[in-house]
């Protein structure tokens, strides 16, 4: 039987309650005490896992039942938590807020799938005794979710803390965090600024979070609660096993893909990506080379395929435009390219009036409208990653638009999007390849080998 992984889910009644500060700070505080901490995030968020990675020294990983399926959540969790002493899972939105009119893909849903105790972070500013009604409601709303304790956040004074503790006498209080203006993470149009863009400032911010949680919370009690989680009944996800069912029609096998180089965009402009994507590419036989379109004037030597993931090209449009040599190389690249959101914008002719790569005959621009939500799409034709009629689940999150899209690649209820051909799939949708491992196999199988490139 797979060993039990001590684990906690950090939740809140709503967004903005302090989940990220508590989860990231708890990860950092436990690591500072010598524990190997596995970091996880409910939902499709890319930004929080960057801070989790700084706090733990391990890749931040997402747990999203909509994108990968319910059955993969516990195996993916165990995969990420290999050789760890404890796992911390940061929730999303309010505890019971899911994809729509039910709690599917909510923090509560993931907590049930992991059979993990929940710690509720409650913003007690502007209330005292009323906090008991809030916590009682969350503790009893769904008896399948085990509320293990409460952390009070934004406590105003010692007297305020005393009143809240008295009102919550029936529940374990695992911490009380007083207001601290020194712990602050800046935001912009799509949420927090990614850790990769802040450099040393992000490292210091995470350290301050860890210090705040260490002095404000009962770490020993939190660890004891984590140890009450039951042993798993499933085995850990394995990228090689995930790829094994696919027929030769979907891929040519590891022997023929060994040594192919897949270049993956990184750096401050391309910070969105799931750790499992790289693991699947490697399991498919590829070597992964990361390059930064802001700094590198050419693709990694021997590049046979490209992955241009998500991020913030609109913030760095001027620098991306200035790297003319790389833009020209990308425009002329005749190998397979998988691009999503930021990568899609980078491949357009222009972004906010600045010249981009020109692989896609369209113009992109920023708007005031936030486009956000899960999408259940259907492929309208074959492309590098898609097959006609095939379903794809993704997540859309941007404030840009592209014109024109005369022949979209994907369609869903209320929308359509995407450009594609035999060597290209470019879409606004963020896809999680652990939910469709064949996508990694198709990319690597279509890649050019180093011998052909020479």
Q: What is the largest CA-CA distance in the chain?
A: 73
CB-based contacts of 452, cutoff 8 Å, min separation 6: 304
Per-residue pLDDT tens over the stretch 163-181? 999 999 999 999 999 987 7
DSSP of 354-385, one letter per residue?
Answer: EE---SEEEEEEEEEEEEEEEEEEEESS--SS
Q: How far apart are CA 23 and CA 38, in angstroms?
A: 11
Per-residue pLDDT tens over the stretch 36-59? 999 999 999 888 999 999 999 999
Q: How far apart are CA 307 and CA 145, in angstroms?
A: 39
**Domains, the chain, with CATH or none:** 7-226 (3.40.50.300), 239-453 (3.40.50.880)
pLDDT at 68: 98
Q: How far apart are CA 319 and CA 134, in angstroms?
A: 48
- The dihedral over CA atoms of 438, 286, 83, 67, expressed in degrees to the nearest 10, equals -30
pLDDT at 258: 66
Handedness of CA 355, 195, 366, 276 (dihedral sign): positive
Which tokens go with 29? 């505080």
pLDDT at 186: 59
Q: How far apart are CA 86 and CA 183, in angstroms?
A: 24
Residue 278 has, within 13 A of its CA and on its CB side, a CA count of 16
Q: Residue 196: helix, strand or coil by DSSP?
A: helix
Answer with the residue of higher pLDDT: 372 or 35.
35
Examine the pLDDT at 104 and tell me if it is beyond 70.
yes
Q: How buried is 225 (Cβ within 10 angstroms: 0-12 exposed, 13-18 middle, 19+ buried)?
A: buried
pLDDT at 31: 98
Nearest to 226 by CA among 120, 95, 82, 87: 87
Examine the pLDDT at 189 and tell me if it is beyond 60.
no
What does DSSP say about strands 348-351 and 354-355: parallel, antiparallel, or unpaired? antiparallel
Per-residue pLDDT tens over the stretch 373-422? 999 999 999 999 999 999 999 999 998 999 987 799 999 998 999 999 99
- The dihedral over CA atoms of 336, 341, 347, 351, expressed in degrees to the nearest 10, equals 180
Extended beta strands in 124-223, E state: 147-155, 173-178, 187-188, 191-192
Which tokens go with 129? 């005794």
Q: Residue 269: helix, strand or coil by DSSP?
A: coil
pLDDT at 192: 66
Q: How far apart are CA 229 and CA 446, in angstroms?
A: 43
CB-based contacts of 33, cutoff 8 Å, min separation 6: 219
Average pLDDT of the segment spanning 84-104: 95
Which residues are marked as active site? 341
Distances (CA, A) of 108 to 60, 75, 174: 20, 18, 19
- pTM of this structure: 0.93
């Amino acid at each position: 039987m797979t060993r039990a992984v001590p684990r906690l889910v950090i939740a809140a009644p709503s967004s903005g309650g302090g989940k990220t500060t508590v989860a990231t700070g708890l990860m950092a505080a436990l690591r500072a005490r010598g524990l190997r901490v596995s970091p996880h995030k409910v939902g499709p968020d890319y930004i929080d896992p960057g801070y989790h990675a700084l706090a733990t020294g391990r890749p931040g990983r997402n747990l999203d039942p909509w994108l990968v399926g319910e059955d993969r959540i516990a195996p993916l969790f165990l995969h990420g938590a290999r050789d760890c002493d404890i796992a911390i899972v940061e929730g999303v939105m309010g505890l019971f807020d899911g994809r729509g009119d039910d709690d599917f893909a909510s923090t509560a849903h993931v907590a049930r799938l992991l059979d993990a105790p929940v710690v509720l972070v409650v913003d007690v500013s502007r209330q005292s005794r009323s906090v008991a009604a809030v916590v009682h409601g969350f503790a009893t709303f769904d008896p399948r979710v085990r509320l293990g304790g409460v952390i009070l956040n934004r406590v105003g004074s010692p007297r305020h803390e005393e009143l809240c503790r008295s009102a919550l006498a029936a529940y374990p209080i695992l911490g009380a965090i007083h207001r601290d203006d020194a712990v602050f993470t800046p935001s912009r149009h799509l949420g927090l600024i990614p850790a990769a863009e802040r450099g040393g400032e992000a490292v210091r911010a995470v350290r301050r979070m860890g210090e705040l949680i260490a002095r404000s919370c009962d770490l020993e009690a939190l660890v004891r609660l984590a140890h009450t989680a039951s042993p798993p009944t499933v085995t850990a996800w394995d990228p090689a096993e995930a790829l094994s069912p696919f027929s030769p029609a979907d891929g040519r096998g590891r022997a023929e893909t060994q040594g192919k180089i897949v270049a993956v965009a990184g750096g401050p402009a391309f910070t969105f990506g799931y750790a499992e994507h790289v693991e699947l590419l490697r399991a498919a036989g590829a070597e992964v080379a990361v390059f930064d379109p802001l700094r590198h004037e050419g693709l990694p030597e021997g590049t046979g395929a490209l992955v241009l993931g998500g991020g913030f090209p609109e913030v760095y449009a001027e620098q991306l435009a200035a790297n003319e040599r790389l833009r020209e190389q990308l425009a002329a690249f005749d190998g397979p390219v998988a691009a999503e959101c930021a990568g899609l914008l980078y491949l357009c002719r222009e972004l906010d009036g600045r010249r981009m790569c020109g692989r896609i005959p369209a113009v992109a621009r920023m708007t005031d409208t936030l486009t956000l939500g899960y999408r259940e799409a259907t492929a309208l034709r074959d492309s590098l990653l898609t097959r006609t009629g095939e379903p794809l689940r993704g997540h859309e999150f941007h404030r840009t638009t592209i014109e024109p899209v005369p022949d979209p690649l994907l369609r869903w209820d209320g929308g359509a999007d995407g450009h594609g051909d035999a060597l290209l799939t470019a879409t606004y949708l963020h896809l999680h390849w652990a939910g469709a491992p064949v996508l990694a196999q198709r990319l690597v199988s279509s890649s050019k080998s180093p011998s052909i490139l020479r």
